[in-house]
Chains A and B, each alone.
Chain A
Amino acid sequence: MPSHSGIRSGGRSSRLHPGAWWLWSLALGTAATRTTNPLLLALLIATSAYVVATCRPQAPWARSYTAFVKLALAVLLIRLLFAVTLGSPLPGTHVIVTLPEVPLPHWAQGIRLGGKVTAETLVKAFYEGLKLATLLICVGAANSLANPARLLKSLPGALYEMGVAVVVALTYAPNLIADVQRLRAARRLRGRPDTGIRGLLQVGLPVLEGALERSVALAAAMDARGYGRTADVPPRVRRTTTALTLGGLLGVCAGTYGLLTAEGGTYGLPVLLAGLTAALAGLRLGGRRTLRTRYRPDRWDTRAWLVAGSGAAVAALLTLAATRDPAALNPGVIPLVAPALPLWPAAAVLLGLLPAFISPAPLKEPS
């Protein structure tokens, strides 16, 4: 079949480390929190969307981007809705519409229902909603660019089994949805309406039963394939591991407490660091108990550095710009002015496009 012979543009060996994608997306998200300028936010969304469009593989999990975009839109709309109904203390002058105000008892003073809706309130709510939406879209980009399951596989050995548990749980969500759809369809075959909330409730039990059965079958299969085999570790090492981990965690707690209280300023930081070191050593030692090896682990190569670096650069530059020129990054709403596109921060955001040019083209998956 010509469609999948030919030169394969992407393969396992050319795949980017999932951590790089997550760092890049989270950095873009961080950048989004630094500004409320709608033009910059739109540019950030466009950047992430372009990279997703060029780099995302054709796998089922990669389709989550649209879901995140829809979620972001919903968040934006809800934010606007709140601004309209609840009003805001913003002293605006451009009244768009005046809603009837609901009188509230005195203990609810400070909350207003209805009343004047000003353009300033709406614009402000839009800016803030857009900021949140951008953050969500960036997380969505990470989800669709890098398989979350692969990221979990990069966990240290001692945490591996926990990682597998999470991966299995993650794959269950889509299965559960498919089950619900199938059983709701089956209701139609019984002559019952297949829509409505009652239909959903009645299939609940069979769906859960099915999910339980499937997990038991999977657990059996995993057991039979050697999941949870452990190496023999001398009891001394085992005890040391426990002591290090527990002691380390205690140290982390004590250190954090110290840092947060006034008296502990002196011992807080050293105890925290010591606790962290002990806990990490415990994890590393605990890794000896697992026999596992890794099949073709994702390598952190130059491209991964560049992708993560481009994201970090965007975040750093926008943070810098936010301190240097707060007015451009957070355009005021009183008086109401059209936001201007600050040139340098905009150029900085465009750095985030780098992955689109250096990362491998998406894997074509014939279906």
Chain B
Amino acid sequence: MIRFENVSVTYDGAAEPTVQGVDFEVPEGELVLLVGPSGVGKSTVLGAVSGLVPHFTGGTLRGRVTVAGRDTRTHKPRELADVVGTVGQDPLSHFVTDTVEDELAYGMESLGLAPDVMRRRVEETLDLLGLADLRDRSISTLSGGQQQRVAIGSVLTPHPGVLILDEPTSALDPAAAEEVLAVLQRLVHDLGTTILMAEHRLERVVQYADQIALLPSPGAPPVLGTPAEVMAVSPVYPPVVGLGRLADWTPLPLTVRDARRRATGLREQLNGRDPIALQGRGAVFDLRLPPRERDQPQRTRSRQQSTPPELAGAHALTVTRDHIRALHHINLTVTPGETIALMGRNGAGKSTLLNTLVGLIKPSAGEVNVGGAVPHRTPPQDLVRRVGLVPQEPRDLLYADTVAAECTAADTDAGAEPGTCRALVSELLPDIPDDTHPRDLSEGQRLTLALAVVLTARPPLLLLDEPTRGLDYAAKSRLVTLLRDLAAEGHAIVLATHDVELAAELAHRVILLAEGEVIADGPTAEVVVSSPSFAPQVTKILAPQQWLTVAQVRRALS
């Protein structure tokens, strides 16, 4: 259905081809997953199928890409629109109209289908994707998962043979991601749609793939094979594969179910060590126990003589925005040195809570305090020394056009010694030249730069909103190390995340939010183990033992 013949793509101004030696075929009705670390050209390969590369992006494409027999060199994207449906990373930038029903019809209108055919397909698609209740809704009022389903629906209505998806579940909470993946599986199984999809969160998608195309490193030709074969050599892999590799299971299990069947031996082996499981998180966990003793460095750093043991807190906090109750009666305490993961659906109030803690949102009722100050009444210059937030889009924090200028500005803003920020950047990102434009950094580098900017003011409380969106496993593990070090230094960290694996690795405490209310608050192991959607893969495999990460198991075994 899709055939790449020795394809290489060189963008204008680039010395090396972004991808080369791409030579494989995606048979009809298969779901092929494109995996690899950030920056290896996954989006370029996807774009080549829909013709957007090179017709829209510019650059030179050598070789030949054919889709359903049509050569993308001679067919522009609009002439491929009836065979290829493309959904990009951000569904919001995909929408042309404003209501769900119009959006589903838009593609068919462009293709000139007959009105009765359009009507029938819209109704079918509404049912297929479970959107019937939302048909008249305006798209901007939908949740992330719903928007993603509408975006997929809007390219499905012209009945394309091929669907191209770039990170369809990265921005979604676990439940919404499953919703979207269930739809994709149904398309492949029932309608014979061919799907080529790139995704960083392999733990969510790897079991659905018929084949995996691995781009191991920039410029390297892709390796194609069955999921088990490719996962055995891949530099990026989900925890279930990590556990499989650790225990030398062949063939590698890809699903929790497969792994559980094999894990009897491992569970026995681990059985006696179970009590260590929680402390196996070792150093990090111990730090939390005596927070008061570690108050001393904390105090000097934040220049506060009377730091209470509670670093920040909310009491009966309620926030109402646009007549919607975003948070209701939240009680929260954050102590120095602890890492808290805020989890919950899209729209559960996680970002609102973080924004309230930095004073971007005024509470409608109740109290918030951060380091003894009320955030929304504190002038920004003072507040940055008490609390720092890295927003969901780290780019929002960056204004300057070079890394060096950004650092100088950060020093001035924070009233820190000149060079403080640059030193932090050099520590976190050793090989970034001063004159790089923040826009040219990768997703992970940009996040780290924003983090350095925030840390320049040395806030004892650090907040992160969805820090792993768009990060590959390597960038994520660097982030984990970094945040652990910060927590060990006494920073309190609160992160809002959908990434259960990240929460399992990092958090001491998990707070689950639903509809603006706290529904669970406790040590990570207790909260996530009992939840079907928030339990990490390792927990599911080794249940009823309470292991959270592959690293813990590895430590216990050695």
**A189 and B112 form a contact (CB under 8 A):** no
Neighbour of B110 across the interface among A147, A149, A225, CB < 8 A: A225
Verify if A168 is at the interface (C-beta below 8 Å from B).
yes
**A224 and B360 form a contact (CB under 8 A):** no
**A188 and B96 form a contact (CB under 8 A):** no
Closest to A295 in B: B105
How far apart are the CA atoms of A164 and B110 in the complex, in Å? 11
**A182 and B380 form a contact (CB under 8 A):** no
Query: Known contacts A182-B396, A190-B453: does B109 contact A292 (CB below 8 Å)?
Result: yes
How far apart are the CA atoms of A61 and B389 in the complex, in Å? 32
Contact with B along A193-233 (1 / 0, CB 8 A): 11000000011011001000010011111111111110100
B23-51 contacts to A, CB under 8 A, are 50-51
CB distance from B93 to the nearest CB of A (A): 4
Verify if A106 is at the interface (C-beta below 8 Å from B).
no
Contact with A along B372-398 (1 / 0, CB 8 A): 000000011101100011010001110
Q: Which residues does chain A contribute within 8 Å of B358, judged by CB atoms? A: 188-189
**B109 and A293 form a contact (CB under 8 A):** yes
**B396 and A224 form a contact (CB under 8 A):** no
How far apart are the CA atoms of A232 and B215 in the complex, in Å? 41
Contact with A along B455-495 (1 / 0, CB 8 A): 00100000000000000000000000000000000000000
**A220 and B396 form a contact (CB under 8 A):** no
Segment among B130-138, B206-214, B524-532 that sits at the interface with chain A: B130-138
How far apart are the CA atoms of A223 and B80 in the complex, in Å? 10
**B389 and A189 form a contact (CB under 8 A):** yes
CB distance from B470 to the nearest CB of A (A): 15
How far apart are the CA atoms of A188 and B377 in the complex, in Å? 12
Verify if B84 is at the interface (C-beta below 8 Å from A).
yes
**A188 and B360 form a contact (CB under 8 A):** yes
Neighbour of A223 across the interface among B52, B115, B360, CB < 8 A: B52
Query: Known contacts A229-B111, A293-B112, A365-B136: does B396 contact A191 (CB below 8 Å)?
Result: no
Closest to B52 in A: A220
A125-169 contacts to B, CB under 8 A, are 147, 149, 164, 167-168
**B396 and A149 form a contact (CB under 8 A):** no
B98-145 contacts to A, CB under 8 A, are 98, 101-102, 105-115, 118-119, 122, 133, 135-138, 140-141
**B384 and A189 form a contact (CB under 8 A):** yes
Verify if B148 is at the interface (C-beta below 8 Å from A).
no
Closest to B454 in A: A189
Verify if B518 is at the interface (C-beta below 8 Å from A).
no
**A171 and B93 form a contact (CB under 8 A):** no
Verify if B146 is at the interface (C-beta below 8 Å from A).
no
**A227 and B110 form a contact (CB under 8 A):** yes
Query: Known contacts A191-B381, A221-B88, A367-B324: does B52 contact A228 (CB below 8 Å)?
Result: no
Query: How many pairs of A and B residues are in contact by the CB < 8 Å rule?
Result: 172
Query: Known contacts A186-B391, A225-B110, A295-B102: does B90 contact A217 (CB below 8 Å)?
Result: yes
Neighbour of A294 across the interface among B115, B133, B399, CB < 8 A: B115
Which has the most chain A C-beta neighbours within 10 Å: B56, B399, B453, B457?
Answer: B399
Q: Which residues does chain A contribute within 8 Å of B113, judged by CB atoms? A: 293
Closest to A194 in B: B380
Verify if B501 is at the interface (C-beta below 8 Å from A).
no
How far apart are the CA atoms of A356 and B115 in the complex, in Å? 31
**B101 and A164 form a contact (CB under 8 A):** no
Q: Which residues does chain A contribute within 8 Å of B119, judged by CB atoms? A: 295-296
**A185 and B360 form a contact (CB under 8 A):** yes
Q: Which residues does chain A contribute within 8 Å of B141, judged by CB atoms? A: 60, 365, 367
**A365 and B138 form a contact (CB under 8 A):** yes
How far apart are the CA atoms of A352 and B197 in the complex, in Å? 55
Verify if A94 is at the interface (C-beta below 8 Å from B).
no
How far apart are the CA atoms of A183 and B359 in the complex, in Å? 15
Q: Which residues does chain A contribute within 8 Å of B52, judged by CB atoms? A: 220, 223-224
**A293 and B101 form a contact (CB under 8 A):** no
Q: Which residues does chain A contribute within 8 Å of B138, judged by CB atoms? A: 59-61, 365
B297-355 contacts to A, CB under 8 A, are 324, 355
**B81 and A224 form a contact (CB under 8 A):** yes
CB distance from A131 to the nearest CB of B (A): 33
How far apart are the CA atoms of A291 and B94 in the complex, in Å? 22
Closest to A15 in B: B136
How far apart are the CA atoms of A277 and B50 in the complex, in Å? 42
**B115 and A291 form a contact (CB under 8 A):** no
CB distance from A225 to the nearest CB of B (A): 5
How far apart are the CA atoms of A219 and B439 in the complex, in Å? 20
**B96 and A221 form a contact (CB under 8 A):** yes
How far apart are the CA atoms of A269 and B493 in the complex, in Å? 77
How far apart are the CA atoms of A189 and B102 in the complex, in Å? 39
Verify if B245 is at the interface (C-beta below 8 Å from A).
no
Verify if A4 is at the interface (C-beta below 8 Å from B).
yes
Neighbour of B155 across the interface among A12, A189, A191, A225, CB < 8 A: A225
Verify if B417 is at the interface (C-beta below 8 Å from A).
no
CB distance from A344 to the nearest CB of B (A): 41
Q: List 10 A-B contacts (CB under 8 A).
A: A182-B396, A188-B380, A190-B453, A192-B413, A217-B94, A226-B78, A226-B111, A229-B79, A295-B108, A296-B115
**A183-B396, A225-B85 are known contacts; what are 4 more A-B pairs with Cβ within 8 Å?**
A222-B96, A223-B56, A225-B110, A293-B113
Chain B interface residues toward A at CB < 8 A: 50-52, 55-56, 76-82, 84-86, 88, 90, 93-94, 96-98, 101-102, 105-115, 118-119, 122, 133, 135-138, 140-141, 154-155, 158, 324, 355, 358-360, 379-381, 383-384, 388-389, 391, 395-397, 399, 409-410, 413-414, 439, 453-454, 457
